[in-house]
Structure 1
Amino acid sequence: MWNGGLGLAGTLTVPREARGAVPIAVIIAGSGPTDRNGNSLMGIRPNSYAQLAWRLAERGIATLRYDKRGMFGTQGTFDITRTTVDDFAADARAAAESLAREARFSRVGLVGHSEGASLALIAARQGAPVAGVITVSGLGRPLGEVMRDQLSRQFDSATMVRYDTAMKHYLRDEQPGDVPPQLGMLFLPVNQTFMRSLAAFDPPAAIRAVRQPVLIVQGETDLQASLADAERLHAARPDARLVVVPEANHVLKHVTDRTLAGQMPTYTDPSIPIVPEVVAAIAEWILALGGR
C-alpha cells in the first residue's frame, strides 16, 4: 500500500468463498517495532494480528495488516526525526481510502490495537470512507501518564524522580541530562518529535471527535491497558459498544495469571490461539455495521 511516496508492505487476507462484496478491516499495530502479524523485534511473538485476520476471514471479513513505516518492507524515505502520531495515522487512513475504491469490499473499518487504537481514532476523524472504528486494548489516558504509571511499578522512587526530570526536558525538545541508564532507550533523540506528539494525545477527546460507530474491546487480564482505560473511552462516547472479554490479556490470549512473568509465555509463543470471544465481538460488530 502507498501513502504518497511511501510504500508499506502488508498482507491482504480475504474469505476463501466470498460471494459478492465483503467488509474489510484495516488492522493497525501497537507501539514499538511491531510488524503486520503483531510480532516485535524485541522478542515479542504472539502472532495475534495474523491470527485475528485468519479468524475474521472464516467469518466472511477481509483484512489488511501492514508493517509500520520505517520497518521491514518500507519503500521510499521519510524523516523519522520529524514524524508525529498523525503521520502514522495517515498511513492507516491511506489504506482505508485505497481499499474503499475496490468494488470487492462493501465497507472499510479500522481495528487498532494498543497504540494503534489511538491511530485509528485519528484516522477516522475525517469521516468516510471509514465506516466504523474498533479499539482493542486502547489507552484511555495520555501515553505520558500511562508510561509513568507502568515504570513506577518497576523502579524505585529515586529512579522515577530522575525520569520525571529527564522527561520534562525531553518533551520540551531539549536534551535531557541525567537519564537513568536502564531507561535510556526511552530518550532517543530520533524519537523526540514522535514522543512529544504522543504524550500530548488525549484519547477521550479523540474518541469524542469520531462520528462513526465505535466498538471498544478490552481484555480483563490486560496488564498494559486496563478496564479503567476502556471505561474512560466509553464515558467519552457513551453510545459506543463496550465489550470486556474475561481472562483475555494484552495480546488477546487466554490467561488467568495477573503477573507479567506469568503471562510471558503468551507473548512469546505464536502457537497459542487468541481468545475466540475477541474474534466474535469484532466480527459480529463489523457484520452488523451493514445494517446501521
Structure 2
Amino acid sequence: MTSPDRRTFLGSLASIVLASSFAGCNESTDNAPTAGVTPTESPTETASPTPTDAATAQAFVSDLSDGAYGRARERLTTDAATRLSASTLERLWLGLTAQHGAFREVVGAKRTTETGRPVAIVTARCDEADQSVRCTFDDVGDIDTVRFPAEYSPPAYADESAFTERTVTVEGTGCSLPGTLSVPGGVAGSAGGRADADGRTVPGVVLVHGSGAHGRDETIGPNKPFRDLAWGLATRGVAVLRYEKRTAACDVPPGDRDIDNIVVEDAVRAVDLLGAQDEIDPDRRYVVGHSLGATCTPRIAERTALAGGAMLAANARPITAVVRDQRRYLLSITGELSEAEKEKIAALDEALVRIENGGVAPDERVMGLPGSWWSSLLAYDQVATAKRVETPLAFFQGGRDYQVTEEDDFAQWRSNLGDAANTSTFLYPDLSHLFQSGTEPSLGAEYSFHDNVAESVVTDIAAWVDRSGR
C-alpha cells in the first residue's frame, strides 16, 4: 500500500506540471532547492560546527536514501518540519536520483558556518554525479535549513574559444525580443556581420522555446538547455540564434496568447534576422524547436523558407490528451487512487471537456492558461501540417520523457512520416524531456538539479544539419 504522503506528493506534482502545460518547463530563478527556515544574521558569537552536526547531516541524507522521509523529517526543527513535509523531502530526493542516477553512498561531511550558525555539507554520490546537501543547525543541533545547491555549468563538449557571441534583437509587433547570436569560427563579428575566418558562410539555427515565459537560454531551475545547444552547435560549426520569448520580454494580454502570436510569428522573424547576418548562408537556415516549439515547427516551416526543422520532444496528440495522460502517469506510480485523487481527475476531465467543446473564453484561465492558448493548440493539426510541408524534418525523442512520450507521440510521428525521404528520427532511451540522462521514474522535480543536454543530441543535430544542407 502506498503511503498517503507519497500520493499527496505525486498529486501536487501533477498539478504543477499541468499549470506549466504539456512542455513541463516551469522557468525558475531558484538554482538551489531550499527547504526549512532561512536563518537571519545572528548578532551573537559565531557557533562552531561539531562532529555531532556532521553525523546528524549524514544520518539525514542516509534517511533520504533509505526512503525514510518521516525519520529524516524528525531531525528538523519544529519550524522547519512545519514547512517541510515528508512528501516534499521525497520530491527532492526522487528528483535528485532521477537526474543524477541511483544513489551510491555518502561521501563525508564538511563542517563550516553560515550567518553565525553551524553548517554541515554532505556529499551524496550517485551514478552520474555528486550532489551536495547543505544542512544548517540551530543551537541544540537540529537542522533548521536544508539546501541542495545546484548551479549551471557549461557542458564539457562546448569549446568557448571556438565561437563568439553578439547581441541581436528580434523586432516583433509591439515588442522587441533581445537575443544572442553564437557564431563559429572565432569571428569577432561587427554590427553588420561578416563571413567566418576562412571566408565561408555557415549554416544557422534558430532555437524555439517550449511552454512558459522562457528567456533565451530556456532556463529551468539550474538548467539552461538552449545555452547547451547553442554552445555545443557553435563549437561544431553551426551558428545559433536564441532569443527571449515574447511572454518573458513583453506584457501579453491573456486573450492574445495563442501559438501564432507567442511562438510562430516571432520564430519566423528570428529566421529572417538570422538570414540577414553576413556569416549565415541564407539557404541553410534551420529551426530547432523544443516541446511546444517543436510542435509548432511544421507551422513555422509553412510560413518561411527553411532548410530543415528539428523537433525535440514534439507532441503528436491533442494537448488535452497530453494533459490527461500526464496526470495518469504521475498518479499511476502510487498504485490505488484515493477518493480525493479520483475527484481531482474528474474535475480535470470536466475542465478539459469544456476546453474541447469551445466553452472557454479567450481571456479565461483554465489550469493557469488562457482559453486562447488552449483553443489555438486544439485548432492546429501538427501531424497533418508536417505531412504537408516539404521541409526536411527530424524528430528527437527521449525515452524517459513522460510529458511527450515515445509510445504515444514519437510512435505517431514515425507512423505518419517515418517513410518520408526527408524525415529522420532519433530516439535516446535514457534521456528526459530536457534531453538529460537519468533514471526512472522521470519526474518534474529532477529539473531542480543540474545537468546538461546530452552530447549525443548535439552531435546528431549538427550531423543532421550538415547532411540536409548538402
Asked if these proteins are the same fold (TM beyond 0.5), I'd say yes
Kindly indicate whether residue 412 of structure 2 is the aligned counterpart of residue 232 of structure 1.
Answer: yes
Matches within 5 A, 1:7-26: 7-17=176-186, 18=196, 19=198, 20-26=200-206
Greater C-alpha Rg: 2
Matches within 5 A, 1:1-292: 1-17=170-186, 18=196, 19=198, 20-40=200-220, 44-71=221-248, 73-74=249-250, 78-87=252-261, 88-106=263-281, 107-128=284-305, 130-154=306-330, 156-171=341-356, 172-174=358-360, 186-188=366-368, 191-228=370-407, 229-238=409-418, 239=420, 240-260=423-443, 264-265=445-446, 267-270=447-450, 272-291=451-470
Q: Does structure 2 conserve the Cα–Cα contact (< 8 Å) formed by 1:112 and 1:134?
A: yes
Q: Does structure 2 conserve the Cα–Cα contact (< 8 Å) formed by 1:6 and 1:78?
A: no
Q: Does structure 2 conserve the Cα–Cα contact (< 8 Å) formed by 1:173 and 1:193?
A: no
> What is the DSSP-based 3-state SS (H/G/I as helix, E as strand, rest coil) of the residue aligned with 2:380?
coil
> What is the DSSP-based 3-state SS (H/G/I as helix, E as strand, rest coil) of the residue aligned with 1:2?
strand
Q: Return the offset for 1:133.
A: 0.4
Measure the CA separation in 2 of the matches of 1:98 and 1:4.
14
> What is the DSSP-based 3-state SS (H/G/I as helix, E as strand, rest coil) of the residue aligned with 1:103?
coil
More strand by share: 2
Measure the CA separation in 2 of the matches of 1:4 and 1:174.
26
Q: Does structure 2 conserve the Cα–Cα contact (< 8 Å) formed by 1:83 and 1:193?
A: yes
Q: Return the offset for 1:187.
A: 3.5
Measure the CA separation in 2 of the matches of 1:259 and 1:134.
23
> What is the DSSP-based 3-state SS (H/G/I as helix, E as strand, rest coil) of the residue aligned with 2:426?
strand
Shift in alpha-carbon separation, 1:274–1:70, aligned structure 2, 3 A: closer
Q: RMSD across aligned C-alpha pairs, in angstroms?
A: 2.2
Shift in alpha-carbon separation, 1:2–1:136, aligned structure 2, 3 A: same
Task: Compute the TM-score of the two structures, normalised by the length of structure 1.
Answer: 0.85
Measure the CA separation in 2 of the matches of 1:36 and 1:290.
25
Q: Return the offset for 1:170.
A: 4.2
**Residue type of the alignment partner of 1:27:** L
Measure the CA separation in 2 of the matches of 1:201 and 1:157.
30
> What is the DSSP-based 3-state SS (H/G/I as helix, E as strand, rest coil) of the residue aligned with 1:234?
helix
Deviation per CA, 1:216-273, whole angstroms, max 9, x where unpaired? 1111222211112112112222221111123111111111323317xx34x1234x22
> What is the DSSP-based 3-state SS (H/G/I as helix, E as strand, rest coil) of the residue aligned with 1:138?
coil
Q: Which runs of 5+ in 1 are unaligned?
A: 176-183
**Residue type of the alignment partner of 2:225:** S
Q: Does structure 2 conserve the Cα–Cα contact (< 8 Å) formed by 1:26 and 1:109?
A: yes
Measure the CA separation in 2 of the matches of 1:140 and 1:65.
25
**Residue type of the alignment partner of 1:161:** A
Q: Return the offset for 1:185.
A: 7.2
Q: Return the offset for 1:120.
A: 1.5
Shift in alpha-carbon separation, 1:199–1:160, aligned structure 2, 3 A: farther
Q: Does structure 2 conserve the Cα–Cα contact (< 8 Å) formed by 1:142 and 1:203?
A: no
Deviation per CA, 1:186-234, whole angstroms, max 9, x where unpaired? 434x711111111333221121122111111111222211112112112
**Residue type of the alignment partner of 1:257:** E
Q: Mean Cα displacement is larger for which, 107-116 or 217-226?
A: 217-226
Q: Does structure 2 conserve the Cα–Cα contact (< 8 Å) formed by 1:127 and 1:212?
A: no
Q: Does structure 2 conserve the Cα–Cα contact (< 8 Å) formed by 1:12 and 1:63?
A: yes
Q: Identity percentage over the alignment?
A: 27
Shift in alpha-carbon separation, 1:252–1:259, aligned structure 2, 3 A: closer
Measure the CA separation in 2 of the matches of 1:114 and 1:289.
22
Shift in alpha-carbon separation, 1:236–1:3, aligned structure 2, 3 A: farther
Shift in alpha-carbon separation, 1:58–1:23, aligned structure 2, 3 A: same
Shift in alpha-carbon separation, 1:286–1:187, aligned structure 2, 3 A: same
Measure the CA separation in 1 of the matches of 2:238 and 2:350.
47
Q: Which runs of 5+ in 2 are unaligned?
A: 1-169, 187-195, 332-340
